Amino acid sequence: MGIDLNLVGAKGAIAEEAEGKWGMVIDQDICTGCQACVAACAMENNLPFVGEEDAAYGRTMHWIRVERFWEGAYPEIKATPFQPMLCQQCGHAPCEPVCPVFATPHSEAEQINLQVYNRCVGTRYCANNCPYQVRSFNWRDYHTQPFHANDVDGQLVFPFHNQFNPDVTVRRRGVMEKCTFCIQRIHTAQDKAKSEGREVEDGEFTTACAQACPANAITFGRMDDHESLVSQLAHQKHGVKHLEELNTLPRITYLKEG
Amino acid sequence: MSENISRRDFLKLATVGAATSAVLTGCGPSSRYIKREPYMEMPEYTYNGLSTYYATTCRECAAGCGLVVRTMQGRAIKVEGNASNPVNLGKTCARGQATLHGLYNPDRVENPLKHARGTSIEIRIDESVTWDDAIQVVADALKNNDPSEIGFLMGMAPDHLFDLVSDLAASIGAPAPLRYGALSMFEARATLIKASENLFGQAALPFFDIANADLVLSFGANFLETWLSPVAYTRGFAKMRRGNPKRRGHFIQFESRISQTAAKADEWIPLLPGTEGLVALAIGRLAAEAKGGAIPKAFADVNPREVASMSDVSMEKLEHIAQLVAEAESAIAIPGGSALGLNNGLQAAQAVLALNALVDNFGKPGGVSLSPLAPNEDEYHRPASAQEMNEFVGKMKSGGVKVLFVHGVNPIFELPASLGFADALASVPQVISFATFPDETALQADYIFPDHHGLESWGYQRSATGVSQSVLSGAQPAVSPNYDTRATADVLLAAAQMAGGKFAEALPFKDEVEFIQSKLVNLIGEADGFFSAPEINTFSAYFQQHGGWWKKSSELVAASASSALDKSLQVEAAEFAGEGEYFFLPFVAPTLGEAGANKPWLQELPDPTTTVMWNTWVEMNPETAHHEGIENDDVIKIVSEAGEVEAPVYLYPAIRPDTVAMPFGQGHTAYGRYAAGRGVNPANLLGSHFNEAGDLTFAGMKVKIEKTARKQILSRLESRIGVYNEGLEEH
Amino acid sequence: MVRKFFEWVMSPMGRIAVLITALSLFSLAAYGIYQTQQPPEQPIEFTHKLHVGLGVQCLYCHPGALRGPSPGLPTQTKCWGCHQQIAKTFESEKLAVLVEYVQNNKPIEWVPVAQVPDFVHFTHRPHIAAGLNCENCHGDMTQVEIAENPQVLNMGWCLKCHRSKAAGDPEKLVKLIDCGTCHY
């Protein structure tokens, strides 16, 4: 790619590569921590729930989580603004170069970080390298645990499987997964637009988390289109990128107070 | 073989051979034998491989948000908000998103049953009955009992079934159905409405226009969690922060713990529980002084210095807030929840509402108005208060209820155990449950005639709050019923016809849809509807397509509150039941809500402020815990005058040292595999004390704490190192 | 013990034994692979050759291919639409199966043949929109009795066409060989 490292941080010079194609803006000032995004993502992407014990071991499969920290001590204590954390689809993703089987390539077409389930062999090096800790590993076949089934005439029937989204692969154990910026929705919208002979309009579709958020804290869209809502929001003064100093070039801008 | 092939070459050949076979085997039709059954007859509007979307209403709480359900080949796969429904404008909360885990829950009641009270639901033990038998049972129950001895208990939502049962009850002379839910208890709705009535002369739910306010004072109202209409109020809050580029708004929450709502506040005031009303009066007094001019009678008798010393809020703080109130362009004060669930709750609510009168915001943008009546509503019917439920329990105990119908509510779990509902059931000869899930109350019924799940149902629901327009949200099945369930409305209609006589006259409809249309027909000529139609069939078609009918313009009623400031307002000291040293604050778990425990994805959602999943915890201030020698995950016993429960401790830095808090939502003994035997129910600690408006004084308990020797590790999403690095210490 | 065995293997007898073992394992594997490529048995012996030969268009029974991801399988009403008017339906032995399904309102459990693994998201619409005919991938159905694949539907075969179709158009090429286009 030939990025001039001396220009890292100079928004003008590498703005194009840094911004990428699809991006997101999360307004932490209005995020209320309600977890609607977490639930919506789970329903859209066939995420398994792991149960209390595995959750205690930190093996939950949340592709997006809401972080909360504290500042100060009682009674001068404040909760920091709620912080939805998901895969930042980094331009310089630390997870990409460490996969021994190239299961998490950078998509040239969509300019996000892909996770190809059938290539993954479960080394978990990518999760180890991710500074945002947003990757989850399928430690078990969570979807087909007998606890979730009913015995019908000697056969195990899983009613929850009716809810699966056919546009998203159902993962088995041994495979890594993470937020995909709802690439299935990206593809569906692009295909629909192509079939009608036009481009995808801004706001025509959005990710599951952005669609559910009651506060409209999450905005998604084309960062390379300077007219798009997400582009305009991202260039406001009080936008920050998390762990920017690691030069991961994340595609998500967080808006703080102000 | 031949010496000419080296080992390396041989290996290369072997692996190529192996690789080829591996690649080939995965791609053959017989290597993955599956079967596909196409439709026998494709529905007209369905296209292979493409989804069909249905507009309906969410039934997870009483707010009545509109949904659009994406279905694929007859299965509901995703729920989104209905973009045109004014309540939620296309958004959903976590409970709405997880409603599919109710629809496809492995523990649904699958067919009508004759049940043995007190046992679990086993198809082998229970006798399956046919729906004809079931309807006969209901018809006999209606016919063979004196109407005054028939009882109907229903959920909080003012829906078509409530209308049907109300009509039936009114016609035959039975008592009106009681609507109840744990949320109405924890929201102290009766108190809020009574305060409204006292101040404005109208018993209606106020509408708080947070979106256009620049100063919000919330006294215990958790409007970002589950209070009244959380999606609508969250949108309002977001609008307050971002809707006006020149101002961000200032939000102050008065509560004894930092709830999820308080976490978004600019200032959190941990006042002494019970002093909310006094603090409101003091602020009113000081604000009036700051503005100059005469002090209204309402605030004339309060002494701010006394209040400061009583409430743990410093005089400087009170003056600071009063100054903000005096200078704000549009200030609003909201009474709710823990401020009202006290013996002085009604007075506190009136004091807080009077603050709105002081800043003269009634009927103005950013102020308080009265919610418009929903379409087809003559007056607002509120859910029953805890006291009314208590009276009903008394009637049950004395043998005054011969047959009890229960739908959409789980009183054994949702009412405090001290009210004795479970014991009172023994005095009711026949209990008929229409529960969709095998909850605690259904297990104590003689018959379970399961209703469809909300996503399999027809209907309508009035949106009573959170909107400025008059909204009737509509429901239609997004999928065919999965099991042999039947709409309760259909069961009652068929039973009424079978019973004949006055019953058949009361409900002369052949099915639920005909009943619904009979109610919708009144809307045809109504002005200002967002669609209109010449007759009922077209109207129904639009109603289904859009997911309801609502008026386009805002119809907020500006309350006349000129008299609100004319009387001196008194707030007496709060009384707390029990002898312990800690205030006890039960709060509705923001992710579970009142009935979410059987949905595993809701269980796996971390609590926003503690990040705990899958269990109940007790929040305790770390200083207090240190003083008592209690660490994280230590199981403690909490004892109140009404009962005792045990739960693990979570050292919560943002709670008063003299208060412990516990989420409500877990502690089921039935209700499916994900809910049963998990956590504890804080309602079991609540005594039967009611305030003037009839609400339970759920925030008015004092409890004792006893250590046990046990530990129970809580599942947390956050690091186990803990807030103050406790986990890092060497042991 | 091991040394003795190793010596035996290196001797001519041993080498022949190894050869025979290797050959038999290889033929077993070949047979196994051959079996996976055989078209499966269908509940009704539907013959494409006859129907396509009579002039029925692919999109008549599989209309979904034009608009979306999945072409679909025909419903019973589609089959019955014609077959109820044909005398042979009630006379023929093979068609008695169809009659039984329709009259008892039972769904027909077809076994899909042109399958790809479920981590591949294939959608028909853009392929038809790009000008491909059904027989380009599914073969000439006027020659096919029971449904079968003319060649293996594996990734190498897909990519061959993706590369050639996008030759000369770098933007299209990037999209067509991107992992995320099919694997997500």
Q: Do B650 and B686 share a domain, yes or no? A: yes
Band of residue B123 on the pLDDT scale cut at 50, 70, 90: low
Over residues B367-376, the mean pLDDT reads 90
| Weakest mean pLDDT among B36-45, B292-301, B347-356, B671-680 | B36-45
Q: Name which of C89, C62, A30 is nearest B243 in CA terms.
A: A30
User: Between chain A and chain C, how many beta carbons pairs sit less than 8 Å apart?
Assistant: 56
The parent domain of residue B278 ranges over 185-370
CB B683 within 8 A of CB B415: yes
Half-sphere exposure of B534 (CA within 13 A, CB side): 0
Residue B574 placed within a domain? no
For residue B213, pLDDT beyond 50: yes
Over residues A97-121, the mean pLDDT reads 95
Collect all residues with Cβ–Cβ distance below 8 Å to A234 and sequence separation of at least 6. A19, A23, A25, A223, A253
Residue B516 placed within a domain? no
- The whole-number pLDDT of residue B118 equals 85
Compare CB distances from B24 to C33, C64, C67 and report the shortest one's residue.
C33
Q: Name which of B654, B585, B584, B660 is nearest B619 in CA terms.
A: B660
Residues of A in contact with B311 (CB under 8 A): none
| Weakest mean pLDDT among B86-90, B120-124, B349-353, B698-702 | B120-124
Contact B35 C110 (CB under 8 A): yes
Residue A62 placed within a domain? yes
- CATH, residue A132: 3.30.70.20
Closest CA of chain C from B33, distance in Å: 7
Contact A160 B106 (CB under 8 A): yes
What is the residue-averaged pLDDT of chain B?
Answer: 92
Q: Do B718 and B632 share a domain, yes or no? A: yes
Compare CB distances from A55 to B76, B94, B613 and report the shortest one's residue.
B613
- The whole-number pLDDT of residue B520 equals 96
Residues of C in contact with B32 (CB under 8 A): 115, 117
For residue B11, pLDDT beyond 70: no
Please, what is the Cα angle at B149 between B145 and B150, to 5 degrees? 80
Residue B202 placed within a domain? yes
- The whole-number pLDDT of residue A18 equals 62
- The whole-number pLDDT of residue B724 equals 59
- The whole-number pLDDT of residue C34 equals 82
Closest CA of chain C from A100, distance in Å: 16
Compare CB distances from C39 to B24, B27, B29 and report the shortest one's residue.
B29
- The whole-number pLDDT of residue B31 equals 60
Residue A168 placed within a domain? yes
In chain B, % helix, strand, coil (3-state, to 5) comes to 35, 20, 45
Give the SS3 label for residue A72. Answer: coil
Half-sphere exposure of B722 (CA within 13 A, CB side): 16
ipTM: 0.93
Q: How many percent of chain A have pLDDT more than 90? A: 87
The number of folded domains in chain A is 1
**Does B43 contact chain C (CB < 8 Å)?**
no
For residue B121, pLDDT beyond 80: no
Contact B40 C75 (CB under 8 A): yes
CB B613 within 8 A of CB B606: yes
Residue B513 placed within a domain? no
- CATH, residue B689: 2.40.40.20
- The whole-number pLDDT of residue B514 equals 97
Closest CA of chain C from A57, distance in Å: 27
Q: Do B228 and B338 share a domain, yes or no? A: yes
Over residues A84-89, the mean pLDDT reads 96
Residue A2 placed within a domain? no
Type and span of the H or E element at B644: strand B644-651
Band of residue A16 on the pLDDT scale cut at 50, 70, 90: very low
CB B606 within 8 A of CB A66: yes
Residue B638 placed within a domain? yes
Q: Do B534 and B388 share a domain, yes or no? A: no
Q: How far apart are CA B619 and CA B49, in angstroms?
A: 49
Residue A6 placed within a domain? no
b/e per residue C4-22 (b: at least 16 CB within 10 A): eeeeeeeeeeeeeeeeeee
Distances (CA, A) of A149 to A143, B104, C101: 10, 11, 30
Q: Do B429 and B319 share a domain, yes or no? A: no
Band of residue B4 on the pLDDT scale cut at 50, 70, 90: low
3-state secondary structure chain C: CHHHHHHHHHCHHHHHHHHHHHHHHHHHHHHHHHHHCCCCCCCCCCCHHHHHHCCCCHHHHCCHHHHCCCCCCCCHHHHHHHHCCCCHHHHCCCCHHHHHHHHCCCCCCECCCCCCCCCCCCCHHHHHHCCCCHHHHHCCHHHCCCCCCCCCCCHHHHHHHHHHHCCCCHHHHHHHHCHHHHCC
- The whole-number pLDDT of residue B18 equals 47
Q: How far apart are CA B412 and CA B444, in angstroms?
A: 9
Contact B34 C105 (CB under 8 A): no
- The whole-number pLDDT of residue B214 equals 96
- The whole-number pLDDT of residue B174 equals 96
Q: Does the bond joining B657 to the residue before it have cis omega, within 30 degrees of 0?
A: no
- The whole-number pLDDT of residue B442 equals 96
Residue A13 placed within a domain? no
Residue A5 placed within a domain? no
Q: How far apart are CA B28 and CA B164, in angstroms?
A: 58
Compare CB distances from B48 to C19, C37, C71 and report the shortest one's residue.
C71
Please, what is the Cα angle at B508 between B503 and B512, to 5 degrees? 105
Q: Do B124 and B142 share a domain, yes or no? A: yes
- CATH, residue B478: 3.30.200.210
**Does B303 contact chain C (CB < 8 Å)?**
no
Distances (CA, A) of A245 to A8, A106, A129: 9, 21, 15
Over residues B119-125, the mean pLDDT reads 67
Residue B341 placed within a domain? yes
Residue A64 placed within a domain? yes
Q: Do B239 and B387 share a domain, yes or no? A: no
- The whole-number pLDDT of residue B126 equals 65
Over residues B450-474, the mean pLDDT reads 94
Residues of B in contact with A67 (CB under 8 A): 718
For residue A9, pLDDT beyond 70: no
Collect all residues with Cβ–Cβ distance below 8 Å to B405 and sequence separation of at least 6. B138, B141, B150, B151, B152, B153, B165, B432, B433, B434
For residue B133, pLDDT beyond 80: yes
Compare CB distances from A109 to C119, C125, C178 and report the shortest one's residue.
C178
Residue A4 placed within a domain? no
Closest CA of chain B from A211, distance in Å: 7
Distances (CA, A) of B20 to B75, C35, C119: 39, 15, 20
Query: What pTM was estimated for this model as a whole?
Result: 0.93
- The whole-number pLDDT of residue B27 equals 53
Band of residue B731 on the pLDDT scale cut at 50, 70, 90: very low
CB A77 within 8 A of CB B654: yes
Over residues C12-40, the mean pLDDT reads 89
pLDDT in tens, B54-100: 999 999 999 999 999 999 989 999 999 999 999 999 999 999 999 99
The number of folded domains in chain B is 4
pLDDT in tens, A161-214: 999 999 999 999 999 999 999 999 999 999 999 999 999 999 999 999 999 999
Residue B444 placed within a domain? yes
**Does B45 contact chain C (CB < 8 Å)?**
no
Residue B490 placed within a domain? no
- The token duo for C64 is 């979904």
- The whole-number pLDDT of residue B456 equals 97
Contact A187 C121 (CB under 8 A): yes
Q: Do B592 and B661 share a domain, yes or no? A: yes
B82-121 residues touching A, CB cutoff 8 A: 88, 90-98, 100-101, 103-106, 108
- The whole-number pLDDT of residue B449 equals 97
CB B460 within 8 A of CB B159: yes
Local structure of residue B176 (DSSP, 8 states)? P
The parent domain of residue A117 ranges over 18-255
Q: Do B527 and B666 share a domain, yes or no? A: no
